[in-house]
Structure 1
Amino acid sequence: MRLFRPLLVAAALLAASTAQAQQSRFTAGPVISEYGAVADIEGAAPIPPQTVFRVAFDVSEAATAGEVSRRLESAARFLNMHVRAGVPRENIHLAVVVHGPAVRDLMIEPRPGEANANAGLIAALVANGVDIFLCGQTAANAGIEPDALLPGVRLSLSAMTMHALLQQDGYTLNPF
Protein backbone atom coordinates (compact mmCIF):
# COMPACT_ATOMS: atom_id res chain seq x y z
CA MET A 1 0.00 0.00 0.00
CA ARG A 2 2.92 2.37 0.72
CA LEU A 3 4.14 2.08 -2.86
CA PHE A 4 0.66 2.40 -4.25
CA ARG A 5 -0.15 5.71 -2.50
CA PRO A 6 2.58 7.79 -4.27
CA LEU A 7 1.37 6.39 -7.60
CA LEU A 8 -2.17 7.52 -6.80
CA VAL A 9 -0.94 11.00 -5.90
CA ALA A 10 1.11 11.22 -9.11
CA ALA A 11 -1.85 10.06 -11.20
CA ALA A 12 -4.14 12.62 -9.56
CA LEU A 13 -1.64 15.44 -10.19
CA LEU A 14 -1.23 14.40 -13.83
CA ALA A 15 -5.01 14.28 -14.32
CA ALA A 16 -5.42 17.72 -12.73
CA SER A 17 -2.68 19.23 -14.87
CA THR A 18 -4.16 17.65 -18.03
CA ALA A 19 -7.63 18.99 -17.15
CA GLN A 20 -6.17 22.46 -16.55
CA ALA A 21 -4.36 22.39 -19.90
CA GLN A 22 -7.55 21.33 -21.66
CA GLN A 23 -9.56 24.10 -19.95
CA SER A 24 -7.02 26.72 -21.08
CA ARG A 25 -8.00 25.93 -24.68
CA PHE A 26 -11.46 27.33 -23.95
CA THR A 27 -11.89 31.06 -24.41
CA ALA A 28 -14.74 33.51 -24.07
CA GLY A 29 -17.04 35.00 -26.64
CA PRO A 30 -17.41 36.34 -29.22
CA VAL A 31 -21.13 36.94 -28.55
CA ILE A 32 -21.66 36.23 -24.84
CA SER A 33 -18.30 36.81 -23.20
CA GLU A 34 -19.29 35.97 -19.61
CA TYR A 35 -20.67 32.50 -20.41
CA GLY A 36 -20.20 29.69 -22.88
CA ALA A 37 -16.44 29.47 -23.37
CA VAL A 38 -15.47 27.36 -26.39
CA ALA A 39 -12.36 25.88 -27.96
CA ASP A 40 -11.24 26.34 -31.55
CA ILE A 41 -10.91 22.99 -33.33
CA GLU A 42 -8.31 22.73 -36.08
CA GLY A 43 -9.37 20.57 -38.98
CA ALA A 44 -13.06 20.57 -38.04
CA ALA A 45 -15.47 20.01 -40.91
CA PRO A 46 -16.32 23.42 -42.40
CA ILE A 47 -19.75 24.92 -41.83
CA PRO A 48 -21.15 26.50 -45.00
CA PRO A 49 -21.46 30.29 -44.48
CA GLN A 50 -25.13 30.29 -45.54
CA THR A 51 -26.03 27.79 -42.79
CA VAL A 52 -29.09 28.72 -40.73
CA PHE A 53 -29.51 27.09 -37.34
CA ARG A 54 -32.86 26.81 -35.55
CA VAL A 55 -32.10 24.86 -32.41
CA ALA A 56 -34.16 24.10 -29.31
CA PHE A 57 -32.55 23.03 -26.05
CA ASP A 58 -34.60 20.92 -23.63
CA VAL A 59 -33.65 21.57 -20.00
CA SER A 60 -35.12 19.61 -17.11
CA GLU A 61 -32.09 19.06 -14.90
CA ALA A 62 -31.64 21.74 -12.24
CA ALA A 63 -28.26 23.23 -11.47
CA THR A 64 -26.64 22.63 -8.13
CA ALA A 65 -27.77 25.41 -5.77
CA GLY A 66 -25.60 28.50 -6.18
CA GLU A 67 -24.07 27.32 -9.48
CA VAL A 68 -24.73 28.24 -13.11
CA SER A 69 -26.67 25.60 -15.02
CA ARG A 70 -24.46 23.85 -17.56
CA ARG A 71 -27.62 22.89 -19.43
CA LEU A 72 -28.70 26.53 -19.79
CA GLU A 73 -25.15 27.57 -20.60
CA SER A 74 -25.19 25.18 -23.56
CA ALA A 75 -27.16 27.78 -25.52
CA ALA A 76 -24.43 30.38 -24.90
CA ARG A 77 -21.77 27.84 -25.95
CA PHE A 78 -23.70 27.02 -29.13
CA LEU A 79 -24.02 30.69 -30.03
CA ASN A 80 -20.37 31.53 -29.29
CA MET A 81 -19.03 28.41 -31.00
CA HIS A 82 -20.88 28.90 -34.26
CA VAL A 83 -20.36 32.65 -34.60
CA ARG A 84 -16.66 32.05 -33.97
CA ALA A 85 -16.75 29.36 -36.68
CA GLY A 86 -18.09 31.91 -39.17
CA VAL A 87 -21.86 31.45 -39.07
CA PRO A 88 -23.48 34.91 -39.21
CA ARG A 89 -25.14 35.78 -35.89
CA GLU A 90 -28.43 36.55 -37.66
CA ASN A 91 -28.48 32.94 -38.94
CA ILE A 92 -28.63 31.44 -35.45
CA HIS A 93 -32.03 31.12 -33.78
CA LEU A 94 -32.09 29.46 -30.36
CA ALA A 95 -34.82 28.51 -27.92
CA VAL A 96 -34.53 26.96 -24.47
CA VAL A 97 -37.50 24.98 -23.17
CA VAL A 98 -37.38 24.41 -19.42
CA HIS A 99 -39.48 22.01 -17.38
CA GLY A 100 -39.31 19.90 -14.25
CA PRO A 101 -36.79 20.65 -11.47
CA ALA A 102 -34.92 23.17 -13.69
CA VAL A 103 -37.77 25.64 -13.07
CA ARG A 104 -35.78 26.92 -10.07
CA ASP A 105 -33.02 28.08 -12.44
CA LEU A 106 -35.47 30.56 -14.00
CA MET A 107 -36.78 32.08 -10.79
CA ILE A 108 -35.76 35.45 -9.36
CA GLU A 109 -35.38 33.78 -5.97
CA PRO A 110 -35.01 29.98 -6.32
CA ARG A 111 -35.37 29.57 -2.57
CA PRO A 112 -36.41 32.22 -0.04
CA GLY A 113 -33.59 34.74 0.35
CA GLU A 114 -31.37 33.03 -2.25
CA ALA A 115 -30.10 34.92 -5.30
CA ASN A 116 -30.24 33.01 -8.58
CA ALA A 117 -26.75 32.17 -9.91
CA ASN A 118 -28.32 31.91 -13.38
CA ALA A 119 -29.74 35.46 -13.47
CA GLY A 120 -26.77 36.89 -15.39
CA LEU A 121 -26.78 34.01 -17.86
CA ILE A 122 -30.54 34.32 -18.48
CA ALA A 123 -30.17 38.10 -18.99
CA ALA A 124 -27.29 37.58 -21.46
CA LEU A 125 -29.20 34.92 -23.40
CA VAL A 126 -32.35 37.06 -23.63
CA ALA A 127 -30.28 40.13 -24.62
CA ASN A 128 -28.82 38.06 -27.45
CA GLY A 129 -32.15 36.92 -28.84
CA VAL A 130 -32.41 33.48 -27.23
CA ASP A 131 -36.04 32.61 -26.46
CA ILE A 132 -36.51 31.03 -23.03
CA PHE A 133 -39.77 29.23 -22.33
CA LEU A 134 -40.97 27.67 -19.10
CA CYS A 135 -43.46 24.82 -19.20
CA GLY A 136 -46.70 26.22 -17.81
CA GLN A 137 -47.63 22.80 -16.46
CA THR A 138 -44.42 22.72 -14.42
CA ALA A 139 -45.08 26.23 -13.14
CA ALA A 140 -48.66 25.36 -12.18
CA ASN A 141 -47.56 22.16 -10.45
CA ALA A 142 -44.92 24.05 -8.44
CA GLY A 143 -47.22 26.98 -7.66
CA ILE A 144 -44.94 29.44 -9.46
CA GLU A 145 -46.50 32.69 -10.65
CA PRO A 146 -45.14 34.60 -13.68
CA ASP A 147 -43.87 37.47 -11.51
CA ALA A 148 -41.49 35.03 -9.77
CA LEU A 149 -39.61 34.45 -13.03
CA LEU A 150 -36.49 36.24 -14.23
CA PRO A 151 -37.08 38.96 -16.85
CA GLY A 152 -37.42 37.60 -20.37
CA VAL A 153 -38.64 34.13 -19.39
CA ARG A 154 -41.95 33.33 -21.07
CA LEU A 155 -44.55 30.75 -20.14
CA SER A 156 -45.78 28.19 -22.63
CA LEU A 157 -48.81 25.96 -22.25
CA SER A 158 -46.42 23.04 -21.77
CA ALA A 159 -42.92 21.96 -22.73
CA MET A 160 -44.47 19.42 -25.11
CA THR A 161 -46.50 22.14 -26.80
CA MET A 162 -43.50 24.46 -27.14
CA HIS A 163 -41.30 21.75 -28.65
CA ALA A 164 -44.07 20.86 -31.14
CA LEU A 165 -44.47 24.51 -32.14
CA LEU A 166 -40.72 25.02 -32.46
CA GLN A 167 -40.43 21.89 -34.63
CA GLN A 168 -43.15 23.25 -36.92
CA ASP A 169 -40.97 26.38 -37.26
CA GLY A 170 -37.99 24.27 -38.34
CA TYR A 171 -36.19 23.97 -35.00
CA THR A 172 -34.25 20.82 -34.27
CA LEU A 173 -33.81 19.43 -30.77
CA ASN A 174 -30.30 19.63 -29.38
CA PRO A 175 -29.80 16.72 -26.99
CA PHE A 176 -26.88 18.32 -25.08
Structure 2
Amino acid sequence: MKSLLLTLGFTLLLAQVTFAQQEVFPVIKGYGSVIDMPFETIKPDPSLQYKLLAEAFSGQKDKTELYDPLDYFARVVNAHAHAGVPAENFKMSIVLFSGSVFTTLNNAEFQKRFGTDNPNLELIQKFQDAGVDVFVCGQSMMKQDIMPEMLIEGLKIGSSRITVASEHLTNGFVSIY
Protein backbone atom coordinates (compact mmCIF):
# COMPACT_ATOMS: atom_id res chain seq x y z
CA MET A 1 0.00 0.00 0.00
CA LYS A 2 2.83 2.35 0.92
CA SER A 3 4.49 1.64 -2.44
CA LEU A 4 1.24 2.36 -4.26
CA LEU A 5 0.84 5.70 -2.45
CA LEU A 6 4.43 6.67 -3.23
CA THR A 7 3.97 5.76 -6.88
CA LEU A 8 0.70 7.71 -7.04
CA GLY A 9 2.29 10.72 -5.30
CA PHE A 10 5.27 10.65 -7.66
CA THR A 11 2.98 10.40 -10.69
CA LEU A 12 0.90 13.37 -9.50
CA LEU A 13 4.05 15.40 -8.84
CA LEU A 14 5.43 14.55 -12.29
CA ALA A 15 2.12 15.50 -13.91
CA GLN A 16 2.10 18.81 -12.05
CA VAL A 17 5.69 19.62 -13.05
CA THR A 18 4.95 18.68 -16.65
CA PHE A 19 1.81 20.81 -16.67
CA ALA A 20 3.63 23.74 -15.09
CA GLN A 21 6.18 23.73 -17.91
CA GLN A 22 3.70 23.84 -20.77
CA GLU A 23 4.73 26.30 -23.47
CA VAL A 24 2.06 28.67 -24.72
CA PHE A 25 1.86 31.00 -27.73
CA PRO A 26 -1.19 33.23 -27.12
CA VAL A 27 -0.58 35.78 -29.91
CA ILE A 28 2.49 34.93 -31.99
CA LYS A 29 1.88 31.25 -32.72
CA GLY A 30 4.99 29.09 -32.97
CA TYR A 31 7.42 31.78 -31.81
CA GLY A 32 8.37 33.40 -28.51
CA SER A 33 7.09 30.67 -26.25
CA VAL A 34 6.24 31.45 -22.66
CA ILE A 35 5.85 28.83 -19.99
CA ASP A 36 2.63 28.69 -18.05
CA MET A 37 3.47 30.12 -14.63
CA PRO A 38 0.92 29.10 -12.00
CA PHE A 39 2.81 30.54 -9.00
CA GLU A 40 3.73 34.08 -10.00
CA THR A 41 3.42 36.71 -7.31
CA ILE A 42 3.13 39.74 -9.57
CA LYS A 43 1.42 40.22 -12.92
CA PRO A 44 1.19 43.21 -15.26
CA ASP A 45 -1.76 45.48 -14.52
CA PRO A 46 -4.18 44.81 -17.41
CA SER A 47 -5.67 48.30 -17.10
CA LEU A 48 -2.36 50.05 -17.92
CA GLN A 49 -1.30 51.08 -21.42
CA TYR A 50 1.91 49.28 -22.38
CA LYS A 51 4.02 50.98 -25.07
CA LEU A 52 7.25 49.10 -25.70
CA LEU A 53 10.11 49.80 -28.07
CA ALA A 54 12.47 46.97 -29.00
CA GLU A 55 15.60 47.51 -31.08
CA ALA A 56 18.06 45.08 -32.62
CA PHE A 57 21.29 45.83 -34.44
CA SER A 58 23.58 42.82 -34.46
CA GLY A 59 24.06 40.57 -37.43
CA GLN A 60 23.79 36.80 -37.40
CA LYS A 61 26.37 34.53 -38.99
CA ASP A 62 24.05 31.63 -39.78
CA LYS A 63 21.48 33.10 -42.16
CA THR A 64 19.54 29.82 -42.22
CA GLU A 65 18.50 30.31 -38.58
CA LEU A 66 15.83 32.56 -37.11
CA TYR A 67 17.29 35.84 -35.86
CA ASP A 68 17.28 35.34 -32.07
CA PRO A 69 16.18 38.85 -31.03
CA LEU A 70 13.01 38.46 -33.12
CA ASP A 71 12.04 35.35 -31.15
CA TYR A 72 12.66 37.27 -27.94
CA PHE A 73 10.42 40.10 -29.16
CA ALA A 74 7.70 37.54 -29.88
CA ARG A 75 8.12 36.33 -26.30
CA VAL A 76 7.53 39.88 -25.06
CA VAL A 77 4.22 40.01 -26.97
CA ASN A 78 3.18 36.55 -25.81
CA ALA A 79 4.18 37.12 -22.18
CA HIS A 80 2.02 40.23 -21.89
CA ALA A 81 -0.97 38.55 -23.53
CA HIS A 82 -0.60 35.43 -21.41
CA ALA A 83 -0.39 37.56 -18.26
CA GLY A 84 -3.75 39.11 -19.11
CA VAL A 85 -2.88 42.39 -20.82
CA PRO A 86 -5.59 42.94 -23.45
CA ALA A 87 -4.49 43.69 -27.02
CA GLU A 88 -6.00 47.18 -26.87
CA ASN A 89 -3.66 48.04 -23.97
CA PHE A 90 -0.50 46.72 -25.60
CA LYS A 91 1.51 48.50 -28.28
CA MET A 92 4.95 47.43 -29.43
CA SER A 93 7.30 48.69 -32.10
CA ILE A 94 10.46 46.99 -33.31
CA VAL A 95 13.32 48.89 -34.95
CA LEU A 96 15.83 46.88 -36.97
CA PHE A 97 19.07 48.61 -37.89
CA SER A 98 22.69 47.99 -38.75
CA GLY A 99 23.42 44.25 -39.14
CA SER A 100 19.84 43.20 -38.33
CA VAL A 101 18.44 44.85 -41.47
CA PHE A 102 19.06 41.65 -43.45
CA THR A 103 16.14 40.07 -41.58
CA THR A 104 13.75 42.43 -43.39
CA LEU A 105 14.65 41.33 -46.93
CA ASN A 106 11.89 39.70 -48.96
CA ASN A 107 12.50 36.07 -49.83
CA ALA A 108 13.72 36.70 -53.39
CA GLU A 109 16.34 39.24 -52.26
CA PHE A 110 17.36 37.10 -49.27
CA GLN A 111 17.89 34.11 -51.57
CA LYS A 112 19.91 36.26 -53.96
CA ARG A 113 22.20 37.51 -51.21
CA PHE A 114 22.49 34.45 -48.96
CA GLY A 115 21.42 31.46 -51.07
CA THR A 116 18.61 30.40 -48.74
CA ASP A 117 15.06 31.32 -47.80
CA ASN A 118 14.58 34.08 -45.25
CA PRO A 119 13.90 32.23 -41.96
CA ASN A 120 12.56 35.47 -40.44
CA LEU A 121 9.85 36.11 -43.00
CA GLU A 122 7.03 34.22 -41.28
CA LEU A 123 7.70 35.77 -37.87
CA ILE A 124 7.88 39.31 -39.24
CA GLN A 125 4.55 38.72 -40.97
CA LYS A 126 3.09 37.42 -37.70
CA PHE A 127 4.27 40.59 -35.96
CA GLN A 128 2.45 42.66 -38.54
CA ASP A 129 -0.70 40.53 -38.19
CA ALA A 130 -0.55 41.05 -34.41
CA GLY A 131 -0.32 44.85 -34.76
CA VAL A 132 3.37 45.12 -33.92
CA ASP A 133 4.98 47.86 -36.01
CA VAL A 134 8.28 46.81 -37.57
CA PHE A 135 10.55 49.67 -38.65
CA VAL A 136 13.68 49.48 -40.77
CA CYS A 137 16.45 52.04 -40.45
CA GLY A 138 16.77 53.91 -43.76
CA GLN A 139 20.41 54.79 -43.04
CA SER A 140 21.26 51.10 -42.61
CA MET A 141 19.36 50.26 -45.78
CA MET A 142 21.40 52.79 -47.76
CA LYS A 143 24.69 51.50 -46.34
CA GLN A 144 23.76 47.92 -47.30
CA ASP A 145 22.39 48.77 -50.77
CA ILE A 146 18.82 47.84 -49.86
CA MET A 147 15.95 49.49 -51.70
CA PRO A 148 12.33 49.53 -50.47
CA GLU A 149 11.20 46.99 -53.07
CA MET A 150 13.67 44.50 -51.57
CA LEU A 151 11.89 44.49 -48.21
CA ILE A 152 9.12 42.35 -46.80
CA GLU A 153 5.85 44.01 -47.66
CA GLY A 154 4.29 46.21 -44.99
CA LEU A 155 7.45 47.27 -43.16
CA LYS A 156 7.87 50.91 -42.20
CA ILE A 157 11.03 52.73 -43.22
CA GLY A 158 12.38 55.40 -40.91
CA SER A 159 14.95 57.96 -41.95
CA SER A 160 17.13 56.46 -39.24
CA ARG A 161 16.96 54.25 -36.19
CA ILE A 162 17.77 57.31 -34.13
CA THR A 163 14.76 59.30 -35.32
CA VAL A 164 12.34 56.37 -35.04
CA ALA A 165 13.52 55.66 -31.48
CA SER A 166 13.50 59.30 -30.40
CA GLU A 167 9.95 59.80 -31.69
CA HIS A 168 8.74 56.68 -29.89
CA LEU A 169 10.47 57.63 -26.66
CA THR A 170 9.06 61.15 -26.86
CA ASN A 171 5.60 59.60 -27.28
CA GLY A 172 5.86 57.55 -24.10
CA PHE A 173 7.30 54.26 -25.33
CA VAL A 174 9.72 52.46 -23.02
CA SER A 175 12.86 50.86 -24.45
CA ILE A 176 13.09 47.19 -23.50
CA TYR A 177 16.05 45.88 -25.52
Q: Shorter-chain TM-score: which interval?
A: 0.7 to 0.9
AA in 2 matched with 1:61: S
Structure-1-length-normalised TM-score: 0.81
Identity over the aligned pairs, expressed in percent?
27
**2:32 aligned residue (31, 36, 45):** 36
Which residue is equivalent to 1:124? 126
Gap regions ≥5 residues in structure 1: 1-20
CA 1:118 to 1:48, structure 2 compared with 1: closer, same or farther past 3 Å?
same
Q: C-alpha distance in 1, partners of 2:93/2:22? A: 24
Per mean C-alpha deviation after superposition, the further-off stretch among 30-39 and 109-118 is 109-118
Q: C-alpha distance in 1, partners of 2:45/2:144? A: 44
Q: C-alpha distance in 2, partners of 1:67/1:25? A: 25
**2:54 aligned residue (51, 54, 57):** 57
| Cα RMSD, aligned residues only | 1.8
1:90-135 per-position Cα deviation (integer Å, ceiling 9, x unaligned): 1110000011111111101335142100000000000110101111
Which residue is equivalent to 2:105? 107
Shift of 1:26: 5.2
Which residue is equivalent to 2:93? 95
Whether contact under 8 Å (1:61, 1:71) holds in the other structure is: no
SS at match of 2:166: helix
Q: C-alpha distance in 2, partners of 1:30/1:148? A: 31
Per mean C-alpha deviation after superposition, the further-off stretch among 95-104 and 25-34 is 25-34
Q: C-alpha distance in 2, partners of 1:82/1:121? A: 18
AA in 2 matched with 1:110: F
Whether contact under 8 Å (2:46, 2:89) holds in the other structure is: no
Structure-2-length-normalised TM-score: 0.81
Whether contact under 8 Å (2:96, 2:136) holds in the other structure is: yes
Which residue is equivalent to 1:73? 71
Whether contact under 8 Å (2:24, 2:36) holds in the other structure is: no
Which residue is equivalent to 2:21? 25
Shift of 1:27: 1.3
SS at match of 1:95: strand
Q: C-alpha distance in 1, partners of 2:167/2:83? A: 28
AA in 2 matched with 1:158: S
State how many pairs are aligned. 154
AA in 2 matched with 1:62: G
